[in-house]
Structure 1
Amino acid sequence: MSAESKLREEIVRLSKSLFDRGFSMGSAGNISAAVDDGILMTPTNSCLGFLDPARLSKLDRNGNHISGDKPSKEVFLHRALYETRPQTGAVVHLHSTFATALSCLADIDPDDCIPPLTPYVVMRVGEVKLLPYVKPGDEKMGDMIRELAGRYAAVLLANHGPVVTGRDIASAVYAAEELEETAKLLILLKDAPKRMLSDENVHELKAVFGAY
């Protein structure tokens, strides 16, 4: 089995895992992964729980659709992350419940909307930027990502949901799960006094484990 065939199978397996555990509903969300000659992406209006490896969309390095079903309408978002973060091997965009709920709150910090509540969100996700609302599929998504110049491995789209990158498909999925669980904790603890990790704690984690 070729490396691309293995990656197709891995995308389908992990997408189904996300769907089965409620991280994605209906045809919401989209996932992509880089290959040597382009990008593999979940098709538009597809359900992450019922993907066919052979029907995944494939785009060349210029974003042209070359095989498989038509790609997600949010392809601009994915391409901008690959262009501005060369270390990116995969992108996961979900409409997961708690991260999306957080994206709808009016009082979160747009420059750090997932604060350092646990060591694992620091290690696997890092700082998260809140981006203003635009309609799904709007090319402005890509423009907003490019303006960040690769500074964030994850963003939260206002009133929409999270977008998380990783060096490979597994690490991107795990980071998306970590972000969702941290958002859940933040929602549950919203009205309670919270003890965040200190700047010293965060610097120590980055020094020991690195920062993606």
Structure 2
Amino acid sequence: MSTETALREQMCLLARSLFDRGLTHGSTGNISARTEDGGLLVSPTGTSFGRLDPGRLSRFDARGQHVAGDAPTKEMPLHSAFYDTRSTAGAVVHLHSCHSVALSMLPVEDAANFLPPLTPYGIMKLGKVQLLPFFVPGDPAMGAAVRGLAGKRSAVMLANHGPVVAAKDVEAACNAIEELEDTARLTLMTRGMSPQGLTEAQVQALVTKFDIAWDD
């Protein structure tokens, strides 16, 4: 099995897992991953995470030209923005996960640090999550907003829409976006209950130990 064939199957397997557990629904969400030759594999437009076909994924070459497979997701500007601004990005995942979307519709203290520091893994896997305003789906302005962060965030939350996470590979990106959704769920579960989150000292200890980009 070639490396690209394995990557195609891994993308579809992980997407199916996210779909089966209700982390995205219908034909929502999109996923992409960098290939060995510098190109991209991308989920096609209008497809369901539960029924992706490895052989029909959109294929881009290293110049960003669509060379094979079905037409890509309309959110390509969002994916491209992460790849172009974060040299470490090997995969990008975007979901319409329920709890994170719900949290994005409530008042937030700091848009530059959308998620409260409730667990160590929320800090370790995501760093600070930037809340971005609402954009019409497919609007290239979403990509421009990500580019405006100059690569300083690996995760953003699109208000009233869904989270987007970039990571070194597709498995890491899926793990991180699941962490984002679980942290949002914990936040909603404990809202109004004065939960005891991590202290600033505890957050800084995690940042130091795991070399997390935090103060940028």
Any idea what SS the aligned residue of 1:49 has? Answer: helix
Tell which deviates more after alignment, 58-67 or 156-165. Answer: 58-67
Structure 2 counterpart of 1:99, one-letter code: S
Contact 1:111–1:130 (CA<8 Å) still a contact in 2?
Answer: yes
Aligned to 1:29: 29
The number of equivalent residue pairs is 212
Offset of residue 196 of structure 1 = 2.0
1:177 aligns with 2:186: no
Cα distance in 1, alignment partners of residues 212 and 200 from structure 2: 14
Any idea what SS the aligned residue of 2:23 has? Answer: coil
Contact 2:29–2:95 (CA<8 Å) still a contact in 1?
Answer: yes
Matches within 5 A, 1:134-173: 134-173=135-174
Any idea what SS the aligned residue of 2:178 has? Answer: helix
TM-score under structure 1 normalisation?
0.97
Contact 1:57–1:71 (CA<8 Å) still a contact in 2?
Answer: yes
Aligned to 1:188: 189
In structure 2, runs of 5+ residues without a counterpart are none
Aligned to 2:77: 76
Offset of residue 163 of structure 1 = 0.4
Aligned to 2:7: 7
Any idea what SS the aligned residue of 2:72 has? Answer: coil
Cα distance in 2, alignment partners of residues 52 and 24 from structure 1: 17
Aligned to 2:117: 116
Offset of residue 97 of structure 1 = 0.5
Aligned to 1:130: 131
Any idea what SS the aligned residue of 1:26 has? Answer: coil
Contact 1:85–1:150 (CA<8 Å) still a contact in 2?
Answer: yes
Structure 2 counterpart of 1:102, one-letter code: L
Tell which deviates more after alignment, 155-164 or 195-204. Answer: 195-204
Offset of residue 105 of structure 1 = 1.4
Structure 1 counterpart of 2:137, one-letter code: P
**1:158-211 deviation line (CA, Å, top 9, x unaligned):** 110100111101010000101100000001111111222122211211222232
Structure 2 counterpart of 1:70, one-letter code: A
CA RMSD after TM alignment: 1.1
Offset of residue 61 of structure 1 = 3.1
Cα distance in 1, alignment partners of residues 207 and 107 from structure 2: 29
Offset of residue 108 of structure 1 = 4.5
Structure 2 counterpart of 1:156, one-letter code: M
**1:83-105 deviation line (CA, Å, top 9, x unaligned):** 00010111010000101111111
Cα distance in 2, alignment partners of residues 108 and 136 from structure 1: 25
Contact 1:24–1:94 (CA<8 Å) still a contact in 2?
Answer: yes
Cα distance in 2, alignment partners of residues 188 and 169 from structure 1: 29
Q: Tell me: CA distance 1:37–1:20, structure 2 relative to 1, closer, same or farther (3 Å).
A: same
Aligned to 1:97: 98
> How many percent identity over aligned positions?
49
Contact 1:100–1:160 (CA<8 Å) still a contact in 2?
Answer: yes
Contact 1:115–1:127 (CA<8 Å) still a contact in 2?
Answer: no
Matches within 5 A, 1:189-208: 189-208=190-209
Offset of residue 151 of structure 1 = 0.6
Structure 2 counterpart of 1:201, one-letter code: Q
Matches within 5 A, 1:32-51: 32-35=32-35, 36-51=37-52
Any idea what SS the aligned residue of 2:49 has? Answer: coil
Tell which deviates more after alignment, 190-199 or 22-31. Answer: 190-199
Contact 1:111–1:128 (CA<8 Å) still a contact in 2?
Answer: yes
